[in-house]
A and B are shown apart, each in its own frame.
Chain A
Amino acid sequence: MSTSLRNNGAALLSLLAAALLVAGFALAFFWAPEAQGDPAFRIFYLHVPVALTAYAAFGWGGWKALRLLWTRDDRYDLESYVAIHMGVIFGLLTLVTGSVWARYTWGVWWTWDERQLVLFLVLFLFYSAYFMLRFSTPAGPRRARTSAVYALFGVALIPVSFLAIRLAERYIHPVVLTRDPKIESEMLLSFFVCLGGTLALGGALYLVELAGKRADARLRELRELLA
């Protein structure tokens, strides 16, 4: 019963994501004005919502990790892991779209000037280590708690790294780039629709992945029962 409800959740979120993403991208391309005559600015409507969805996924993974430590209920382990998995996928998308943007704007595929990109690189390293930790520790309550603690460290690391990257700019190169595009209300509205779309997409993927992992676990259980 609960599983069928959860599948409905994934289906509902997928529909919502489809509606919001189509609407958001349509608004971004046909309605919102072009910023500073720069056609590549429209990457903004993909890049930033995807980045914020990645943060949301990491935060959600951290919250589930906290619940695990609080209640010692095993199911939060899988939920936290799947949320972080989604966060890493969206983080990779952020890195790739950001890299495309950098290539157009500065003519290089990578720039240390873009704080968000550098932060995502650090987070990508961090969460890759999270996967290494999980894959090299035998499954069980101790792995669940160890991964949960590391996931919580990640949530703390996000603001600390952000601050560190800001501070590092001052001694690596003192020239601070100030780009302050004028945001108009049409752009803002389009952006929020896109953000809702990517959040719904992330949620839908999270639920689908979770359902798949749970089905796997049930199958294993069934196999043991029948053996």
Chain B
Amino acid sequence: MTAYLSDVAALTRKDLLVELRSRDTVPAMLLFVVGGLVVFHFALAEDSSRLASAGMLWIALLFTALLALVRSFVAERDEAVIDGLLLAPCDRSAIWLGKTLSVVAFLALAELVALPAFALFYEPVTWELVAGVALANIGIAAVGTLLGAMAAAARARELLLPLLFMPLAIPLIVGGVGATLAEDPGRYLGFLALYDLIFAILSWASFEYVVTE
């Protein structure tokens, strides 16, 4: 158990260190999410409601996450890092967990900028929104990491990942927008937690089948 956790910690640290050195992903995510929020101002009608702006925020977050997910496996694939990781004497699911944690960290960094920007440009940020974003991050990273590993074997992997991910992200959007807008956000937060639980267990259990040749 402790060996497993230390493997996971080492793998997460590797991803974070690579990002710290290269600074490839996070700055792009920050620019993308802020750019998205600015574009939405021009896409929304003059007097559109706070309902519309909440929906736009969630779309921006989802697409920003896709950016990180595509990046996270392209590097592994291009430099054949994944082959090395598979040879390492650790449980395959530890690779999934390590990657998921690093993606959660990237998403949290992007949201540290995106949520204040949203509050500045559109509507105040409520604690329900923050809780929804935190729960959605787990689901996005868990499912996205598995799908990224799946798409990595395909020819047009950068294209394929969003296609695979979109239908699975619909419940996350429902939960997130519901938590932001509904009068009883608890139900939606509970739904997000349920989604995280189901799909994290599924992804954790099936990662090994997806990466081995």
Contact = CB atoms under 8 A, between A and B. Distances in A.
Interface of A: 69, 122-123, 125-126, 128-129, 132-133, 136-138, 141-143, 145-146, 148-150, 152-153, 156-157, 160-161, 163-165, 167-168, 170-171
A146 B150 contact: yes
Contacts of A128: 163
A126 B194 CA distance: 20
B199 A145 contact: no
B144 interface: no
Nearest to A123: B167
Contacts of B150: 133, 146, 149-150
Contacts of B164: 129, 132-133, 150
Given A150-B164, A153-B168, A164-B191, 16 more contacts: A69-B206, A125-B166, A129-B160, A133-B160, A138-B153, A142-B210, A145-B209, A149-B206, A149-B209, A152-B202, A152-B206, A160-B194, A163-B191, A167-B175, A167-B188, A171-B181
Contacts of A149: 146, 150, 206, 209-210
Nearest to A68: B209
Interface residues of B, number: 35
Contacts of A126: 167-168
B153 A146 contact: yes
A156 B139 CA distance: 14
Given A145-B210, A148-B209, A152-B202, A161 B171 contact: yes
B170 A129 contact: no
Dominant SS at the B interface?
Answer: helix
A125 B153 contact: no
Contact of A156 (B153, B163, B202, B210): B202
Contact of B163 (A123, A132, A165): A132
B21 interface: no
A143 B191 contact: no
Contacts of B199: 153, 156
B171 A164 contact: yes
Contact of B187 (A129, A132, A156, A167): A167
Interface in B135-166: 146, 150-151, 153-156, 160, 163-164, 166
A69 B133 CA distance: 34
A61 to B, nearest CB: 16
9 contacts: A69-B209, A133-B160, A149-B209, A156-B199, A161-B170, A163-B194, A164-B171, A167-B175, A171-B181
B212 interface: yes
Contacts of A145: 209-210, 212
B154 A137 contact: yes
Contacts of B38: none
B134 interface: no
Contact of A143 (B51, B153, B160): B153
A168 B180 CA distance: 12
Contacts of B194: 160, 163
